[in-house]
Amino acid sequence: MTRKPEMSNILWYAREAWVDWTRALPVGNGRLGAMVFGSSRKEKIQLNEDTLWTGSPYSAANNGAHQHLPELRELMFAGRYAEAERLADARMMSRPRMQMTYQPAGWVFLETRHRPDRDTFKRWLDLETAIASVDYHHQGIRYRRETFASAPDNVIGTRMWTEGGEPFNTDISFDIEQTVTPLINAERGEITCHGRNRGEFGVPAGLDWVVRVKVLPDGGSMEAYDGGLRLTGVRGVTLWIDVGTSFKRFDDISGNPDNATSERIEAATVKGWDAIRADHVADYQRLYNRFSIEFGPGRTDLPTDKRVAAPDKEADPALAALYVQFGRYLMISASRPGTQPANLQGIWNAEFRPPWNSKYTVNINTEMNYWLPDPTNLSECFEPLIAMLEDLTETGAEIAREHYGARGWVLHHNTDLWRAAGPMDAADPGLWPMGGVWLSCQLWDHCVYQGKPKHLVDRVYPILRGAADFLLDFLIPLPGTDALVTVPTNSPENIHPAGVSLSVGAAMDNQLGRDLFDAILEAEVETDPAFLERIREARARLLPDRIGHAGHLQEWLEDWDMDVSEMDHRHVSHLYAVYPGLAIDTIDTPELAAAAKRSLDIRGDNATGWGIGWRICLWARLGDAERAWSILKSQLSPARTYANLFDAHPPFQIDGNFGAAAGICEMLAHSRPGEVRLLPALPKALSTGKVSGLRLRGGIEIDMEWADGTVISARLKSVAAQTVLLRNGEKTSNVALEADQWVGIL
C-alpha cells in the first residue's frame, strides 16, 4: 500500500511538521482541502472547504456613483491627481468597501502518544498518487498512515494501521476555533459539528456549515469521551471526513449541508477504503499522467527541505522538474470542474483572518494561478475560472451601470465567493476597472491553447462581448488628440510621481484593450457589423506602447518611470504585453522587447513570491535563459519556498508556485498561433532533459528530448490540420500537421 520515498516525484521528510503549517503537506479534490502534518504523537489534519467564506449574498454597488465620474475625469485631465483620488475615495468606491474572507473548517486529530524509534520516521507526498503518507516504528511495531482527498467520492480519507496487525490505541477528535460543540456518537462512530459562518464588514452571516467525521475501527472497542472517540486495541482505523455548506450559487444559499455530507459519508462507508483509494488514484492519474518532465540528476536521497536549503541548485536540476510537477499537483488538487477557482492560497488556509482575506486578487494573482493548466495539459482545471466569470457578468453588470453608466460588465482588482465586482478597499489600488478585461483575454488565450473548439468559443464569447461592451463605453478621447484612454485607472498598485495611483491611460490598459478587441475579431462569432466596426475603430485609437527617455517601456502615459518612489516595485504591469501577452516579442518587435528588458533591469530581480514568478516568465519570454535561471534559483531557496514547497510570498500565496512553474515551461517552448519555438530560453543548468505532453497554442502537443542544450528528438500532434513555423535555434522550417497524428520534427 505504501511506497518508498525514493522516486523523483515525491516530497519526503525525515521529521514531523509539529506545529509548522508550512511543513504540513496539502491534499485536495478541488472542493475539499487538508493540510496533513504527519505527526506520530498527535496527527493534525487541518480542513478547508471551498465555499466556506464569511458573509452572505450581497451587492457591492454604490448606486449612482457614476454621477461623480465627469468631475473625476475633469480633475484627472487637469493633472489634479491627488484631488481626483480624494474624490474617488469618497464617492466612487463600493459599499461595503471590503470583501468577504475565506475560512478554515477546523482540525481533525488522531492522538496515539507514540514516539518513533530512532531513524524510523518518514513522511511523504507522492505526486503520482496524490497520497500523503507517514511511516514509523514505535517500540518495534511499524505504523503506517495514508491520507488523500478523493474527487470521485468527494471525501477526505485517512487510514492508520500496523504492518503486522498488532493492536494499538488512539483518540479521534475534532476542534474549531468557534463557539460550537462537536456531537459525539460512539454507537455510529461519528463526530459531527454544525455551525454558522460569521458576518463581516456589514454583510450578515448566511451560511450553515457541517463537518462530519466517520470513524471505522478494525476490531477493538470504541467509546465516547469528552473530546471525541477513544479507540482501544484496534488493528487499524479508517476515517472519512467531509465538510459542507449551504452555498449553492453566489446568490443562493439554500443548500442542505447536513444531508449532503451525510449522504457522501454513508456512500464512502459502504464503498470502502480499497475501492475509494483505487478510484481516487485512477481519477487523479487521468490528469497527472498526461505530462512528464525531467532535468538531469536529482538529490532525491535528500529530504525535500534539505534540497530547498542546499545552495548549489545546479547540482540538483531535478528540483526544478519536481517544482513543476508540484505546481500541477496543486492545480489538480485545488481547481476541478464544478468547484470554486483557486484563490490566493489555492484551497488551503488555516486562519480566520488570512492575509488579503485569501480571496481572488485579479490585478495579477488570479491570472497567474491559471498560467499553468494550459501548457501542462490540465485544461479541465481551467473550468472553474470560466464559471466564476460567467457569474461576474451578472454582478459586474450592476457595477458597470451604477459606477460608470456603462453597458456590459466590469471587475476591479478583487472578488470573492459572492462575486463582488466593484472598486474595493480604496481608490489606491481599488479603482482599476480592467480586471474583467484581463481575465477575458486569458479566457481567449485558453481557447487558443485548445485549438479554438466551437463549444468552448461559444461559451466564452458572451463573457468577452460583455467586457468589450463595457470597455467601449468606458474609453473616452484624450483631450487634444484622437486617442481613446481609460480614466480613471491605475497601473496596479504602483504610485506615480504625483504621490497617488490614479492615472490616465496606463500602458497595461492599452495592451489589454488591444488583446480583448483582437479576441472579439478572432473569435468570428459576432454577427453585428456595426459592433465590429466600433471594435476596429476603438482598437486603432488606443495609444501604442512608448519607450521612455531611459530606454524603458513606459508604464504610464507620461514618462514617469524613472521618477517613482519605488523603483523595485513588485508589479510589472506594463510588461503584460511581453508575458502573458504576445504583442511584444524579441523577433517581431525587437525595439519594444529591448525596452521591456530595460524596465526589468530597473525593477530588479527581488520581489514577492509571485513577483519573482512573473519575472521568471518575462525573462524566459525575452530569451534570457541565465537571467531566468538566476531568479528561479532565488525562488527555490528557503527565503522564497517553504519546506513543503509552498511559495513564501511571504506569507504563503499559491500564485508564486504556479507562476514559477509556468516560467520553467516557457524556457522549454514558446508558442504563438502558427509558430513554435524550441528551447527559447534554456539555461545551462537544465541543458539535458525531456518533456512530454507539453501543450502549445493552436491545439498542439509536443514531446521533446535534448542534450547539451540541443534538441535531439521532438514530435508534434495537433487537434486539427495546420502548418506551423518551427524555430529551432537559428533554423526555421514549415511543418505540416495532420489532425490527431504525431509528426516527428527532429
- pLDDT, tens digit (0-9, with 9 covering 90-100), for 279-290: 999 999 999 999
Mean pLDDT for the stretch of residues 263-286: 98
- pLDDT, tens digit (0-9, with 9 covering 90-100), for 453-466: 999 999 999 999 99
Is the pLDDT score of 323 beyond 60? yes
Is the pLDDT score of 4 beyond 50? no
Pairing of strands 689-696, 292-294: antiparallel
Is the pLDDT score of 1 beyond 50? no
The Cα 734–Cα 726 span in angstroms is 6
In the chain, what percentage of residues exceed pLDDT 70? 99
Spatial contact of 55 and 206, defined as CB atoms under 8 Å apart: yes
Query: Which pLDDT score, from 0 to 100, does residue 116 have?
Result: 96
Return the amino acid letter for 433.
Answer: P
Under DSSP, the state recorded for 637 is S
Under the banding of pLDDT at 50, 70 and 90, the label for residue 7 is confident
SS3 219: coil
Under the banding of pLDDT at 50, 70 and 90, the label for residue 227 is confident
Query: Which pLDDT score, from 0 to 100, does residue 515 have?
Result: 98
Spatial contact of 341 and 360, defined as CB atoms under 8 Å apart: yes
Mean pLDDT for the stretch of residues 379-403: 98
Nearest residue to 607 (alpha-carbon basis) of 584, 560, 575: 575
The Cα 198–Cα 709 span in angstroms is 56
- Mean pLDDT (the chain, rounded): 97
Under the banding of pLDDT at 50, 70 and 90, the label for residue 476 is very high
- pLDDT, tens digit (0-9, with 9 covering 90-100), for 101-135: 999 999 999 999 999 999 999 999 999 999 999 99
Is the pLDDT score of 569 beyond 70? yes
Mean pLDDT for the stretch of residues 578-604: 98
Return the amino acid letter for 339.
Answer: T
Nearest residue to 58 (alpha-carbon basis) of 205, 173, 161: 205
Task: Specify whether domain 77-99+364-561 bears CATH 3.40.50.970.
Answer: no
Is the pLDDT score of 163 beyond 50? yes
Query: Which pLDDT score, from 0 to 100, does residue 437 have?
Result: 98
- pLDDT, tens digit (0-9, with 9 covering 90-100), for 47-105: 999 999 999 999 999 999 999 999 999 999 999 999 999 999 999 999 999 999 999 99
The matching CATH number, chosen from 2.70.98.50, 3.30.360.10, 3.30.530.20, 2.60.40.1930, for 10-54+105-289 is: 2.70.98.50
Phi and psi based region of residue 191 (left: phi greater than 0; alpha: psi -120 to 50; beta: remaining): beta
Is the pLDDT score of 274 beyond 50? yes
SS3 23: helix
Q: Where are the domains of the chain?
A: 10-54+105-289, 77-99+364-561
Strand-pair partners of 705? 690, 713
Is the pLDDT score of 6 beyond 90? no
Beta-carbon contacts of residue 231 (< 8 Å; ≥ 6 apart): 169, 170, 171, 172, 215, 217, 220, 221, 222, 237
**Do the two domains 10-54+105-289 and 77-99+364-561 of this chain adopt the same fold?**
no
Is the pLDDT score of 2 beyond 70? no
The CA distances from residue 180 to 105, 106, 176, 444, in Å, are: 12, 11, 8, 46
Is residue 524 exposed (0-12), middle (13-18) or buried (19+ Cβ within 10 Å)?
exposed
Please give the grid coordinates belonging to residue 61. Answer: 454597488
Query: Which pLDDT score, from 0 to 100, does residue 3 have?
Result: 42
